[in-house]
Homo-oligomer: A and B are copies of this chain.
Amino acid sequence: VLTKRIAVLPGDGIGPEVCTEALKVLEAVSERFGHQFELDVQLMGACAIDATGDPLPESTLQACFEADAILLGAIGDPKYDNNPAAKVRPEQGLLRLRKSLGLFANIRPVTAYDVLIEHSPLKADRIQGSDMLIYRELTGGIYFGEKGRTADGAYDHCTYSREEIVRIAHLAFQSATTRRNKLTLVDKANVLETSRLWREVVQQISPEYPSVAVDYLFVDNAAMQMILNPKQFDVILTENMFGDIISDEASVIAGSLGLLPSASVGETAALFEPIHGSFPQGKGLGIANPIATILSVAMMLEHFGMYDEATLVKEGVDYALRRKVLTPELNSDNPYTTEQVGCFIADYV
């Protein structure tokens, strides 16, 4: 019996609902394969601010440190939105969590599912067969540099050390060797010194991965290419801010945010979460799509080395897609609830 300890941070809005369904699927995996998953549910985000004044209370951080993996629902609440000057904000908890646990690589697979192809705003022939994996650096760059105000202005400093680039570049190259052997670095090396360093490091590392063809795209061009010809991409590697933009843009290819999982990994810790937000308007209505969170659980199982288990979960998702057991945004004619979709996939497993 394999035992894994999982810190569960349901968060705000629809976070708790989608986590509940994902945990049903995890429970089904545990029964089927005889693993033991110990869950430690903790507060984070707006709900944590409301309860403790801190979006990432000490006990939550402690639980994350002690866990083999973290499952996060979503954070954010309208009362903190459009109020960027608020002293305490849910996002700060997320940024602090990433930094404290050293989650330096955010990994997002983006696939165009055939059955959903009409749901994408893009024409079918442009996206059919798209299958990319985005590696976004997550604990450096302008997100974590010095920032502040001057007498008449404001500043944000973007910095990268060679080592911060090296470690994620290796992950991205390794992953490319298990896929189609193509890596695209997205940067702005014609303007930024940090981008020139990224390019240098990637050029230096690339001989260690002779099978991988490396390509360099300026971020403005990448933002265009992502829509014009997404099939050209296999593994994308990029810094924190560009990754934030490009990976959200890429999500339109899938036809729904509700399908896209992500992993954020470091030397020791690993966090899994859907890429969608807390969608507060949808809270409690049973309309939230749990698939992104369920696929995040599949990524977690892969992280544990439980490949058969992960494959089974993904098959369950495929089956739900084919049978159209889907929430309203993907099946307006005959919508299923969050819970029904979760149970359907858990039953499959």
Q: Which residues of A contact B (CB under 8 A)?
A: 82, 84-85, 89, 91, 95, 121-123, 126, 142-143, 145, 147-150, 152-164, 188-197, 199-200, 216, 219-221, 223-224, 226-228, 241-242, 244-249, 251-252, 257
Contact = CB atoms under 8 A, between A and B. Distances in A.
Given A191-B95, A219-B245, A224-B249, A156 B158 contact: yes
B147 A193 contact: yes
Nearest to A91: B190
Nearest to A240: B191
A219 B249 CA distance: 10
Contact of A193 (B149, B219, B241): B149
17 contacts: A84-B190, A84-B195, A84-B196, A89-B190, A91-B190, A121-B123, A148-B193, A152-B163, A153-B161, A153-B164, A153-B197, A154-B196, A155-B158, A157-B158, A219-B245, A223-B245, A224-B248
A191 B91 contact: yes
Contacts of A195: 84
Contact of A122 (B82, B121, B257): B121
Given A160-B154, A192-B147, A195-B84, A248 B221 contact: yes
Nearest to A80: B190
A274 B122 CA distance: 25
Nearest to A145: B155
A68 to B, nearest CB: 29
